[in-house]
């Protein structure tokens, strides 16, 4: 999961399956927040997906948000 920006206030937050390379979920955002990442993970879990690990950048506080899921920065 990561966010890519075009300009200062438009970004796409993307959740992607590493194995299939399939885009699982995307949000159009003005800024990336830990709350949006948590919302995305919960949405994927509510769809019945099992999250076995997360790869993300080193946002402050994000690593502690996923105590039950292994996280790699």
pLDDT band for 4, please (50, 70, 90 cuts). very high
Instruction: Compute the residue count for the chain.
Output: 73
Torsion over CA: 69, 56, 50, 61 (sign) = positive
Range 8-27 average pLDDT: 94
Domain boundaries, the chain: 2-72
pLDDT of residue 10: 96
3-state secondary structure 7-54: CCCCEEEEEECCCCCCEEEEEEECCCCHHHHHHHHHHHHHCCCCCCCE
Interval 26-69: pLDDT, tens: 999 999 888 999 999 999 999 999 999 888 877 777 878 887 88
pLDDT of residue 72: 83
pLDDT of residue 41: 92
């Amino acid at each position: 999961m990561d966010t890519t920006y075009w300009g200062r206030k438009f970004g796409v937050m993307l959740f992607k399956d590493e194995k299939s390379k399939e885009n699982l979920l995307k949000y159009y955002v003005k800024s990336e927040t830990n709350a949006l990442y948590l919302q995305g993970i919960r949405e994927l879990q509510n769809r019945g997906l099992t999250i076995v690990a997360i790869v993300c950048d080193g946002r402050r506080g994000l690593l502690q948000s996923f105590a039950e899921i292994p996280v790699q920065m």
